[in-house]
């Protein structure tokens, strides 16, 4: 099969798991014998734009004709069987959907976040889950609160895009891929047709398996409010208060707006290391030495790539019991769930890990089995191929289905 992958890469100063997912999926498709070509824009390029073009980037978020024209030209020569669209913000815009329609090539969209109903994309505001804009014709609360980058002006283009392209997102793609059932349910108000919706978790390639357990509890990710770092700090303090001479050590890797207060907090705690932004290979080595990986997200994550990557290393994840985590983790079997916003509960989990080191070994073996069954390339690519076949056999023309739903059912 000939596949065109469309993606707007995130800024390198703020790495996103989406970029990694796109690259890993493309590599696995090629290894499975498919021909794959990429069509990309890079957010890093904005810094080198001339002043006028840079000033027009917010308008491009709503609509940019240039990427659509460029994509149509590529499609005219490459003629893929299917176009797989990932992130279109900020330089591609939903115009790429129109380019696929005009070219007569079916498109598949992986929905990575909540951008279709939330201007911030994460259903999180002022330290708590927020659904004020969900189901509204116009997401005015998001603008009023400046949910994107704490700025009403920055939020306006994203809100306009939601309003302007709601119908296009509903009618243009031949298929949608959600990363979890929890995400699909959160996005039901966006009106994406159930008959063309699939749930497929992200693919994770094999990584270095855990060989030693050095008692590390590892956090990998952005240091931001929605990621639950304050709960992690309080939970760690609860653990060390209960077991002052505990054997566990907390390692926090990443960067973000909370880095300064986290470093200040860690400076008085000898069993905590804040190591900054690490290379992927270094992160993998760190996880391979860990007792557990902690994912304390306070927002309802649509997937949680770190959870699946920990499982691939045979390391149990500790995560909040909401969002996709309840689907990814079977509590007490291949990982541990605790209530969000409950540092004492997290502290109790850490105490149990400290006092029962064999437990993390047992959980880790089951976590690896879960990885092989759900996230490893062979089966995951098989699911993706099925979705592509559905899209090819159900092309979209003039906003109406070309055929009814098939027996191999979407979500």
Q: Do 226 and 299 contact (CB within 8 A), yes or no?
A: yes
List the domain boundaries for the chain. 2-203+379-401, 216-374
End-to-end CA distance of the chain: 24
Write out the DSSP string of 149-166.
TT-HHHHHHHHHHHHHTH
Band (403; pLDDT cuts 50, 70, 90) = very low
Is residue 155 pLDDT above 80, yes or no?
Answer: yes
Sign of CA dihedral 334, 338, 341, 343: negative
Of the CA atoms within 13 Å of residue 175, those in its CB half-sphere come to: 29
Instruction: Name the residue with tokens 């008692």.
Output: 215
Q: Do 75 and 105 contact (CB within 8 A), yes or no?
A: yes
Q: Which CATH number fits domain 2-203+379-401: 3.40.50.720, 3.40.50.2000, 3.30.70.990, 1.20.1560.10?
A: 3.40.50.2000
What was the pLDDT predicted at 398? 53
Q: For the chain, what is the mean pLDDT?
A: 94
What was the pLDDT predicted at 399? 46
Q: Do 246 and 258 contact (CB within 8 A), yes or no?
A: no
What was the pLDDT predicted at 49? 96
Q: Do 326 and 250 contact (CB within 8 A), yes or no?
A: no
What was the pLDDT predicted at 408? 36
Structure-model confidence comparison of residues 200 and 13, the more confident one: 200
What was the pLDDT predicted at 410? 44
Q: What is the pLDDT of residues 241-291, one digit of tens each?
A: 999 999 999 999 999 999 999 999 999 999 999 999 999 999 999 999 999
Q: What is the mean pLDDT of residues 127-134?
A: 97
Band (356; pLDDT cuts 50, 70, 90) = very high
What is the C-alpha to C-alpha distance for residues 332 and 335, in angstroms, rounded to an integer? Answer: 6
Is residue 404 pLDDT above 50, yes or no?
Answer: no
CATH topology agreement for domains 2-203+379-401 and 216-374:
yes
Is residue 397 pLDDT above 90, yes or no?
Answer: no
Is residue 400 pLDDT above 50, yes or no?
Answer: no
Could you tell me the strand order of the sheet in which 197-199 lies? 35-42, 2-9, 82-85, 107-111, 175-178, 197-199
Q: What is the pLDDT of residues 156-214, one digit of tens each?
A: 999 999 999 999 999 999 999 999 999 999 999 999 999 999 999 999 999 999 988 99
Answer whether 0.95 is exceeded by the pTM. no
Omega before 76 within 30 of 0, i.e. cis: no
Q: Which CATH number fits domain 216-374: 1.10.8.50, 3.40.50.10780, 3.40.50.2000, 3.40.720.10?
A: 3.40.50.2000
The distance from CA 295 to its chain's CA centroid, rounded to whole angstroms, is 13
Judged by DSSP in three states, 171 sits in helix
Smallest CA-to-CA distance from 380 within 129, 178, 200 is with 200
What was the pLDDT predicted at 405? 36
């Amino acid at each position: 099969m000939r596949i065109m992958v469309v993606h707007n890469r995130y800024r390198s100063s703020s790495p996103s798991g989406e970029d990694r997912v796109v690259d890993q999926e493309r590599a696995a498709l090629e290894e499975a014998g498919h021909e794959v070509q990429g069509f990309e824009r890079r957010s890093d390029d904005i810094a080198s734009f001339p002043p006028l073009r840079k000033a027009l980037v917010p308008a491009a978020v709503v609509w940019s004709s240039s990427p659509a024209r460029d994509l149509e030209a590529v499609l005219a020569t490459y003629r893929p069987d299917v176009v797989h669209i990932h992130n279109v913000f900020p330089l591609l815009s939903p115009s790429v959907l129109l380019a696929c329609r005009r070219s007569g090539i079916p498109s598949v969209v992986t929905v990575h976040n909540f951008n279709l109903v939330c201007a911030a994309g994460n259903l999180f505001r002022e330290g708590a889950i927020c659904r004020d804009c969900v189901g509204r014709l116009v997401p005015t609360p998001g603008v009023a609160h400046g949910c994107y980058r704490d700025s009403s002006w920055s939020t306006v283009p994203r809100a306009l895009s939601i309003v302007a392209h709601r119908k296009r997102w509903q009618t243009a793609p031949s298929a949608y891929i959600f990363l979890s059932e929890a995400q699909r349910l959160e996005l039901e108000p966006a009106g994406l047709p159930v008959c063309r919706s699939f749930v497929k978790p992200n693919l994770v390639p094999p990584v270095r398996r855990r060989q030693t357990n050095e008692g590390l509890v590892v956090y990998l990710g952005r240091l931001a409010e929605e990621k639950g770092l304050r709960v992690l700090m309080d939970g760690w303090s609860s653990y060390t208060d209960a077991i002052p001479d505990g054997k566990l050590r907390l390692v926090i890797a990443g960067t973000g707006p909370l880095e300064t207060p986290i470093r200040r907090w860690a400076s008085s705690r000898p069993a905590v290391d804040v190591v900054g932004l690490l290379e992927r290979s270094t992160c993998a080595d760190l996880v391979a030495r860990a007792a557990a990986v902690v994912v304390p997200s306070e927002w309802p994550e649509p997937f949680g790539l770190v959870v699946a990557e920990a499982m691939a290393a045979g390391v149990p994840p500790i995560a909040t019991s909401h969002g996709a985590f309840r689907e990814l983790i079977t509590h007490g079997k291949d990982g541990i769930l605790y209530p969000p916003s409950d540092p004492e509960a997290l502290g109790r989990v850490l105490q149990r890990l400290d006092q029962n080191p064999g437990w993390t070994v047992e959980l880790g073996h089951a976590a690896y089995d879960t990885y092989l069954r759900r996230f490893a390339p062979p089966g995951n690519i098989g699911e993706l191929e099925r979705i592509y076949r559905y899209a090819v056999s159900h092309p979209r023309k003039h906003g109406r289905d070309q055929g009814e739903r098939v027996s191999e059912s979407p979500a």
